[in-house]
Chain A
Amino acid sequence: MTAAAQNELETDVQIRADGFVRVVLRGRLNEQTVVGCWSLLEKELLGTKVETLQVDVSGLGLCDAAGMTLLLYLSMGRMTPQATISVLGLKADLEKIFRELTLEDSQAFHPYPAIKRDSYVEKIGRWVGQTTMEIHEQMVFLGAIIASLPVSIFHPKRSRWAETRRIVELAGANAVPIVSLMSLLLGFIIAFESARRLAEFGAQLYVANTIMVVMVRDMGPLMTAILLAGRTGSSFAAEIGTMKINEELNALKTFGLDPIPFLVVPRILAGVFVTPLLTFYSILMGVIGGVIVMLGLGFTLPLILHQLASSVHLNDLGAGISKSAIFGVIVSAVGCWHGLRTEQGPSAVGLSTTRAVVTSLLLIIVADAVFSAISFLLK
């Protein structure tokens, strides 16, 4: 026999050799006393072979919700899985609640059903199925955009130019300060890094060539696209995703309006228009950054300008700008695509936004690599 008093609760545990256990609780069973009682019962009952558990609570003066929880836990057999359990002496009002709570089979609502693990074959099969489905959906999406674009171009009155203008302002004009800062600093970095190396060969003048080639052919378009993916692609995904969750897309559909020409096409047109402009501006700011560094190194402005002009052809600028237009399409289309695919739930919009940014970045780098390979082969 074990007896313990925790504050105002007395717990007697009587264990008989034939597996009969009698627990007598007297006093107050509340949140404060339950914790001590629990530890005592766990110590006594775990590892003991219990066939019959009798809990006598007729001596309880108070039993609050925490106390009731302990009685439920015992009666569900969580501490004595094999035993026949009875709770005796509950006061009439508590008995009613207790009965209500134990009416259902306690096993029937166990919250954690066993998780079925898939085999590798099933996992591969599911992945192939999902990827195929996704590629199919992307093709349908791309097809719908291509089918909608001529309507916008050849029937301008049917296009939503006001919406396109709004997006041009948001994605383009509002991005000018950050593009300025980023490109100027990029120009500084490239100039400083190349100046150190070129000084070893006495060829610091060629810093101008480095800046011009790097900014025009790669860094200008690439960094602008990366910035737009983080700033604009994510906002497209979040905006359209929220519209989907709020059933605004369903509202459009019931009016007979297709979300692709209504929402996606204006964003793609804005992306194609804005990205080359921002790229051109980025190139300009990067070169200015480089020029500032070169002036600091002691070169004269006419010499720097002459060197800059001789380092790239118009073709190079054309390649950089046209590449950026493709990046613009990628960023806008991927943002809208993930926005339209947003599912329900509080984390859905965040998930779509993340996917939009990651997919855009990946596709931009892949596209840039393809462009570089093509231009190398053409030369």
Chain B
Amino acid sequence: MMNAPNHIAISVKDLTVGYGDNVILQNVNFQVKRGEVFVILGASGSGKSTLMKAMIGLYPPLSGEVWIEGGNLMAAQGKERLALLRKFGVMYQSGALFGSITVLENVRLPLDEFSELPDPLKEVAALARLKLVGLGAAADKMPAELSGGMQKRAAIARAMALDPRILFLDEPSAGLDPITSAGIDLLIKSLHHFGFTFVIVSHELPSIYSIADRVVMLGSGAKGIIAQGKPAELRDRAADPWVRRFFNRQPDPSHSLEPS
């Protein structure tokens, strides 16, 4: 089953994703190294979230493969697939916390379903995850009582419940104020020290400069990757002018509303 070198966490091979005849991403290839913070970015509607959902097996691709920690997620079935799913945790854009149970119970839920630990230890394990994201004091609150930033942090704690090696985060900073957003960045950096590999979908530039080791950029209408590398390099030296404009926050000259 092993197919990738040891330092590769995720390998995406010739991935084509779409719905029926509508192809959104075509022949996408890239690799995510173990322990790196890897950011998928691009314009709105370029297929960032679709790519992430295909990588975690939510959207079956039209063709291609996704290998996670040496296992082919597209081909795996039954227990093998379950074992692969446990290698990563996912934070969805809205947090997707279960609203009818407390924050602690949200984090405990995967442990209750899959862990062999004795019940009292499960509770401590869930509390430990909440403490890691700074939400120890909010354990008994309901998700609706938390602010947007706290909900995202609680969702990260839940994603870490089964001790995965990889964390997928969909727009962790979207809709948050700069201070809360910086707090999430700091959390990602501190969790990074614990050895997690991060795959993050984002288009928040300050956040990307602060956390990303490497980025891939999806082009609007290009149906694939138009640039990849370190964010600062792409900002200064990308061949595609659209990529440079993106990183320098410059508007498209053809759509200017400035008075002539």
Contacts and interface: CB of A to CB of B under 8 A. Distances in A.
Interface of A: 31-32, 34-35, 38-39, 64-66, 68-70, 72-73, 76, 78, 97, 100-101, 104, 108-109, 111-113, 344-347
B222 interface: no
Given A66-B163, A78-B124, 15 more contacts: A35-B116, A35-B118, A38-B121, A66-B125, A69-B117, A69-B121, A73-B121, A73-B124, A104-B136, A104-B137, A109-B130, A111-B123, A112-B140, A344-B144, A345-B100
Contacts of B116: 31-32, 35
A64 B121 CA distance: 14
Contacts of A39: 118
A35 B115 CA distance: 10
A109 B115 contact: no
A345 B123 contact: no
A198 B104 CA distance: 66
A65 B163 contact: yes
B115 A346 contact: no
Contacts, number: 72
Contacts of A344: 144
B121 to A, nearest CB: 5
Contacts of B130: 109
Contacts of B120: 73, 78
A66 B104 contact: no
B19 interface: no
Interface in B117-134: 117-118, 120-121, 123-125, 127-128, 130-132
A345 B124 contact: no
Contacts of B131: 100-101, 104, 109
A245 B98 CA distance: 16
Interface of B: 98-100, 102, 104, 115-118, 120-121, 123-125, 127-128, 130-132, 136-137, 139-140, 142, 144, 163, 194
Nearest to A103: B131
A34 B139 contact: no
A-B residue pairs, 10 tightest by C-beta:
A65-B163, A346-B99, A69-B125, A109-B136, A111-B139, A111-B140, A73-B124, A111-B104, A345-B99, A38-B118
Contact of B132 (A70, A100, A345, A346): A100
B93 to A, nearest CB: 17
Given A100-B131, A347-B100, A70 B121 contact: yes
B102 A34 contact: no
The winner among B128, B137, B142, B194 for most chain A CB atoms within 10 A is B128
A101 B117 contact: no
B149 to A, nearest CB: 18
A101 B190 CA distance: 13
Contacts of A113: 140
A76 B140 contact: no
A66 B136 CA distance: 18
A35 B117 contact: yes
Contacts of B121: 34, 38, 66, 69-70, 73
A298 B98 CA distance: 63
Contact of A69 (B98, B102, B124, B144): B124
Nearest to B143: A345
B119 to A, nearest CB: 10
Contact of B102 (A31, A73, A78, A111): A111
Nearest to B139: A111
Contacts of A100: 131-132
Contact of A66 (B98, B117, B127, B140): B117
Contacts of B128: 65, 68-69, 72, 101
A205 B183 CA distance: 83
Given A68-B128, A69-B128, A346-B99, A109 B118 contact: no
14 contacts: A31-B117, A35-B116, A38-B117, A38-B121, A39-B118, A65-B125, A78-B124, A97-B194, A101-B131, A104-B131, A108-B136, A111-B139, A111-B140, A345-B144
A345 B102 CA distance: 12
The winner among B124, B130, B137, B140 for most chain A CB atoms within 10 A is B124
A13 B115 CA distance: 26
Contact of A347 (B99, B118, B132): B99
Given A35-B116, A65-B163, A66-B117, A76 B139 contact: no
A346 B139 CA distance: 19
Given A97-B194, A109-B139, A76 B104 contact: no
Contacts of A70: 121
